[in-house]
Structure 1
Amino acid sequence: MKIEVWSDFVCPFCYIGKRRLEQALEQFPHRENVEIVFRSFELDPNAPNETPLTIHEIIANKYGISLEEAKRANADIGRQAEAVGLSFRFDTMKPTNTFDAHRLTQYAKEKGKLNDMVERLFYAYFTESKLISDRNVLLALAEAAGLDRVEAEEVLASSRYTEEVRRDEEEAAALGIRGVPFFVFNGKYAISGAQPVDVFRRALEKVWEEEQSRPLQLLGEEGRACGDDDCRFN
């Protein structure tokens, strides 16, 4: 089973949804047969690398609410994060552009380190309050994920993996994805948003059962073959 996950590293529900999917997988007896592939999605491609505004101020301005309302909304998200074992530090969070982080994960995917890189980026942003557009921060995270620091530095200094990021985003647009997280199971079923663990668990079970019960489709006419008792010669 293949699960493709479109997400952004500054999206709180993407991290919460990721953890809820993982908790559902812990209850799934066939989890060793599940492949998770994270796909790139930028919530704000025009976001600056650095801003003097806090995440509370950004939310207040974006939705036309008061600063106190924004803080209460973020506190509610923080409680949802705590429920799945995450710690969000909104007061010290550093809002930023995520394009280079996505390019780095495309490189990590090529090197077989995608899942580790994705988790480290989420944790760095939401829990450690790191600026995940900063090259030195990204290189340290890449190295911690087992990637070659020199190669990672060459990637970030170039435009490599830009095409891969754009391709993911174009596919998201083609699928009608306007918000993340967005989960696609075997290219046929989708879950939008950080749904409860039970929703993910039922989706896993449904897709697995369908794949196991799906009959083979014979292409062309039946040809010569051997069975248990005899072989067909004509």
Structure 2
Amino acid sequence: MMKIEVWSDFACPFCYIGKRRLEMALDDFEFKDEITIEFKSYELDPLAKPIRNKKYYELLVNKYGMTVEQAKQSVQQLVQQAKEAGLEYRVDSIQHGNTFDAHRLVKYAEKKAKGKEMAERLFAAYFTESKQISDHHVLKELACEIGLDAEEVLTMLESSKHSKYVREEEAVAREIGVQGVPFFVFDEKYAVSGAQPTQVFKEVLEEVWRRHNRKSSLETITPNHSETSYCTDEGCVVERKEDE
């Protein structure tokens, strides 16, 4: 089996697009059944507070200092990219908020073998259905839709359970130098940053799979000024190598 780890945030528009492009690449990949995907936690804005009734382009203006026209153009391009990936973004009605509890919910869902389903449901809820995914009752409803127990989920959300897993994954992101999401790590060795085109993901999958299954060859190291003794079926020898 080969693993793909994906650091992302549910409030990141390119994370959902990148996720879908990777999935599209996997659909055409011959060995897709031998690949597992793990979603890792990353918060773009750990201090985010719920913001209602504010258009997405207004958030861009405030956060990045864009003009209104630049922000609207950026939003249009974003919607088009999402559409090309088969996603419907309703950006004008997005309910901005903190995503920490959403990440905790995914960690809980993973324990129930529902992590991938939970991640997909959260992305759709945020970008397509304009749901406030920082609200515990909204999160409970979303969890129920994928078959998780409502009361169990609510009890978990009202506690601090799974917080450490979120923090640990965010710490790993810092350690490996993640500066933006989505961030993909293939086979624990090869990193790809950003929502790359589907064709790029296809090429990466083929190359990493080839390397994953390549038989490693041994390289002999012979230090200078060394003596080595060994035997073959023809006899035993002692070899001394002086410094060159």
Give TM-score, length-normalised by structure 1: 0.90
Residue 51 of structure 1: CA displacement? 4.5
Structure 2 CA distance for aligned equivalents of residues 214 and 196 of structure 1? 30
CA contact (8 A) 2:50 2:95 kept: no
Q: Which residue of 2 aligns with 1:95?
A: 96
Q: How does 1:155-166 map to 2 (within 5 A)?
A: 155-166=156-167
CA contact (8 A) 1:54 1:95 kept: no
- Secondary structure of the corresponding residue to residue 213 of structure 2: helix
- Secondary structure of the corresponding residue to residue 47 of structure 1: coil
- Secondary structure of the corresponding residue to residue 47 of structure 2: coil
Residue 53 of structure 1: CA displacement? 3.3
Question: Kindly, what percent of the aligned residue pairs are identical?
Answer: 51
Q: One-letter code of the match for 2:177? A: G
Structure 2 CA distance for aligned equivalents of residues 117 and 145 of structure 1? 7
Structure 2 CA distance for aligned equivalents of residues 91 and 146 of structure 1? 30
Q: One-letter code of the match for 1:214? A: K
Q: Is residue 11 of structure 2 the alignment partner of residue 7 of structure 1? A: no
Count, aligned residues: 217
Question: Relative to total residues, which structure has the larger strand share, 1 or 2?
Answer: 2
Q: Is residue 120 of structure 2 the alignment partner of residue 119 of structure 1? A: yes
Give TM-score, length-normalised by structure 2: 0.86
Residue 136 of structure 1: CA displacement? 1.2
Q: Which residue of 1 aligns with 2:81?
A: 80
CA contact (8 A) 1:8 1:40 kept: yes
Q: Which residue of 2 aligns with 1:186?
A: 187
Residue 27 of structure 1: CA displacement? 0.9
Larger Rg computed on CA atoms? 2
Q: Which moved more, 1:146-155 or 1:161-170?
A: 146-155
Q: Which moved more, 1:205-214 or 1:153-162?
A: 205-214
Structure 2 CA distance for aligned equivalents of residues 149 and 74 of structure 1? 35
Instruction: Show structure 1 runs of 4+ deviating over 4 A.
Output: none
Q: One-letter code of the match for 1:166? A: R
Q: Which residue of 1 aligns with 2:110?
A: 109
In structure 2, list runs of 5 or more residues that go unmatched.
219-244
- Secondary structure of the corresponding residue to residue 38 of structure 2: strand
CA contact (8 A) 2:53 2:93 kept: no
Q: Which moved more, 1:66-75 or 1:113-122?
A: 66-75
Q: Which residue of 1 aligns with 2:35?
A: 34
Q: How does 1:15-30 map to 2 (within 5 A)?
A: 15-30=16-31
